[in-house]
Structure 1
């Protein structure tokens, strides 16, 4: 029996894909089709895929051409698959000519003629019109968001508004985007907005954007209290608009895999999580007069995300110790008590601690080195250290492109909820921010 293998993403499966699968099928007796995983696509910078791997596999299955379907998850897997399945022929589209000649050492490589006049890229462009995004507030990290938006198809950051920042004109000129002196005028022209403003202004800006029929991506923490969250998530639902919190860590390929591994039970039942985030900014003297630039407002949502995603939203109590001076929050140590687990989070600004994450299980633990929020590497460790497993997942740029990609997907697929980060999870974290902001903490003097 002659075995043939081919690979592809098969996003928005079209007649070009089907024609290539038919040609591959005709080369032998048994066709194996490798479909790229979501994480693998992200790792290699393919950020415009519209469908999940499950949807793409199902589409290939429905053609009836594949005798077996496998998932391609990492660079170099093709050699392993060819050996494992005793493949005779590797077939791929002619647009890859020469790229896979190295596989001739393991089997015959055949480049198949590509069907002209159709591509997934063209279909995506036809199916989903370009989303015009305006920026509200150009402080950190807005400029980096603008830079990374250039790598995400289907969107254009084309306008900016900031009533206070004198750098607005310079940044707009640098990236060839329009500077607006009126927020309302900008919102009238946009499909969506990215909001990066001080926390107390979030609810007003979000409500205004939604009433102008704009989708909203807002920096964390998205709200100060549950009341605002309930009200504006309900308004977004009524308007059929996406309202989402910008936390890039959630969308890193390594973080996504880490969540899958935790949920698989490989380290047993989770009994404790320790998370730390801190930094000492160069402009500390300038910002320490701004309450809402303190550590809990800056880092709180980020530190709490893995805890809430792993242990859930139903914690029994939250205790926090707030180290402050003159109203500025330098450091917080928090403890969440669950029915059968605990979690500790530490966030600091103007103070330094090891920015690692440790997830403790009944069979082993996961260690994510600093800075864990830029996750690209983690280890699973057991009693026998020889059994340690190490995982590395590259990400592109600074990671902002991944949250932008999810935002665009949610808009195009008319989804107001994200699998990666639900409104229930957001509201649970907002509740802890509200507790802190309301002074329900034990205050300690940072200066002593």
Structure 2
């Protein structure tokens, strides 16, 4: 039987949407069918670049197009719930960029509607689908070097300081925590699970958005030392210290990268992975298969994982006194 071609729509035409569209073009039996932006001209330019069939100047029109099988939501964090509900109400499968929404309550609303409408919904936490990341999680689960006792993970870069930018706009979820802190936190949850307790401190921009967040996750037999910052460029590594060796995901651990295996004698082996795309293709292929199988929830990035992730982000926000309202 011929594999069904999944016709995708994208809501939002910014940087992340561009990366997703580039990788979508490499995924078999997929096509970018529609793009929507609040600016019709911007949508048309985006559509021409990526050969979309139609371009819309608002999101509602795209949600009402019966030819759309799946939608990738690439708008600012604070709009994720609204745009997810918009599409789910029309029975369109939704892949929503991380963070899923602003807090646990919003995420639970989205999941509830997905179940009511019997329509697929998944958080686009692309890292969990990347081969190098799955390889590392398998090594940890198999206790390749014994038990994991410490994780060090960071993510930092220094953007141009612009108080009008989305990245520094607290009202849309700007700041280091939701944008990039989510990745070190996800590494901790994926490898060590939910912490027993959380310590956190932050520095803030004049806009009220967090400029830097330093976190310690405490476990009964382990610790995770995590950092996100918009004040400096960091190595952006994830280093898993085990009883008998170290597993290190090298620079830009959250995206296609390499893995160093260092045994207790200091011998190092570098593992490379044959990446040919930016990395968004892996989650897209998984999502397409879920649609074809008639699923409403991923067995990899489950609803439970998304709830655990957002509730952990909520706890960190509480510790540092950050309120997006």
Normalised by the length of structure 1, the TM-score is 0.66
Change in Cα spacing, 1:415 to 1:425, as seen in structure 2 (3 Å) is: same
Using the TM superposition, give the Cα deviation of residue 237 of structure 1 relative to its aligned residue in structure 2, in angstroms. 2.1
Partner of 1:185: 61
Check whether the contact 1:272–1:343 (CA below 8 A) recurs between aligned residues. yes
Structure 2 matches for 1:435-446, cutoff 5 A? Answer: 435-437=315-317, 439-441=318-320
Partner of 2:13: 138
SS in structure 2 of the partner of residue 374 of structure 1 = coil
Using the TM superposition, give the Cα deviation of residue 417 of structure 1 relative to its aligned residue in structure 2, in angstroms. 3.3
Matched, 1:354 2:232: no
> Which range is displaced more, 329-338 or 173-182?
173-182
Using the TM superposition, give the Cα deviation of residue 215 of structure 1 relative to its aligned residue in structure 2, in angstroms. 0.6
SS in structure 2 of the partner of residue 176 of structure 1 = coil
- Cα distance between partner residues in 2 of 1:366 and 1:197: 35
Structure 2 matches for 1:358-373, cutoff 5 A? Answer: 358-373=239-254
Partner of 1:337: 218
SS in structure 2 of the partner of residue 384 of structure 1 = coil
- Cα distance between partner residues in 2 of 1:395 and 1:185: 36
Using the TM superposition, give the Cα deviation of residue 174 of structure 1 relative to its aligned residue in structure 2, in angstroms. 2.2
Using the TM superposition, give the Cα deviation of residue 422 of structure 1 relative to its aligned residue in structure 2, in angstroms. 2.3
Where does the alignment leave 5 or more consecutive residues of structure 2 unmatched? Answer: none
Change in Cα spacing, 1:342 to 1:166, as seen in structure 2 (3 Å) is: farther
Residues 304-332 of structure 1 show CA distances to partners (whole Å, capped at 9, x for unaligned) of 2221111113x222222111121122111
Matched, 1:290 2:166: no
Partner of 1:321: 201
Check whether the contact 1:331–1:347 (CA below 8 A) recurs between aligned residues. yes
Structure 2 matches for 1:190-205, cutoff 5 A? Answer: 190-205=68-83
Where does the alignment leave 5 or more consecutive residues of structure 1 unmatched? Answer: 1-122, 444-448
- Cα distance between partner residues in 2 of 1:440 and 1:166: 43
Structure 2 matches for 1:47-446, cutoff 5 A? Answer: 123=1, 126=2, 128-164=3-39, 167-177=42-52, 178-189=54-65, 190-282=68-160, 284=162, 286-287=164-165, 289-291=168-170, 292-313=173-194, 315-326=195-206, 327-386=208-267, 388-437=268-317, 439-441=318-320
Check whether the contact 1:253–1:394 (CA below 8 A) recurs between aligned residues. no
Using the TM superposition, give the Cα deviation of residue 411 of structure 1 relative to its aligned residue in structure 2, in angstroms. 1.2
Check whether the contact 1:368–1:375 (CA below 8 A) recurs between aligned residues. no
Check whether the contact 1:132–1:192 (CA below 8 A) recurs between aligned residues. yes
SS in structure 1 of the partner of residue 123 of structure 2 = strand
Using the TM superposition, give the Cα deviation of residue 238 of structure 1 relative to its aligned residue in structure 2, in angstroms. 2.6
Change in Cα spacing, 1:416 to 1:309, as seen in structure 2 (3 Å) is: farther
Using the TM superposition, give the Cα deviation of residue 274 of structure 1 relative to its aligned residue in structure 2, in angstroms. 0.9
Using the TM superposition, give the Cα deviation of residue 347 of structure 1 relative to its aligned residue in structure 2, in angstroms. 0.9
Residues 236-285 of structure 1 show CA distances to partners (whole Å, capped at 9, x for unaligned) of 12322221111222222111111111111111111111111111234745
Using the TM superposition, give the Cα deviation of residue 421 of structure 1 relative to its aligned residue in structure 2, in angstroms. 2.3
Check whether the contact 1:248–1:400 (CA below 8 A) recurs between aligned residues. yes
Cα RMSD (Å) of the superposition?
A: 2.0
Q: Relative contact order, CA 8 A, sep 6+: which one is greater?
A: 2
SS in structure 1 of the partner of residue 34 of structure 2 = strand
> Which range is displaced more, 245-254 or 279-288?
279-288
- Cα distance between partner residues in 2 of 1:289 and 1:211: 31
Normalised by the length of structure 2, the TM-score is 0.90
Check whether the contact 1:332–1:348 (CA below 8 A) recurs between aligned residues. yes
Residues 132-170 of structure 1 show CA distances to partners (whole Å, capped at 9, x for unaligned) of 211111111111211111111222211111115862221
- Cα distance between partner residues in 1 of 2:279 and 2:266: 31
Residues 187-238 of structure 1 show CA distances to partners (whole Å, capped at 9, x for unaligned) of 1221211101111111111111101101111111011111222222122123
Partner of 1:65: none
Partner of 1:27: none
Residues 357-379 of structure 1 show CA distances to partners (whole Å, capped at 9, x for unaligned) of 11111121212221212243112
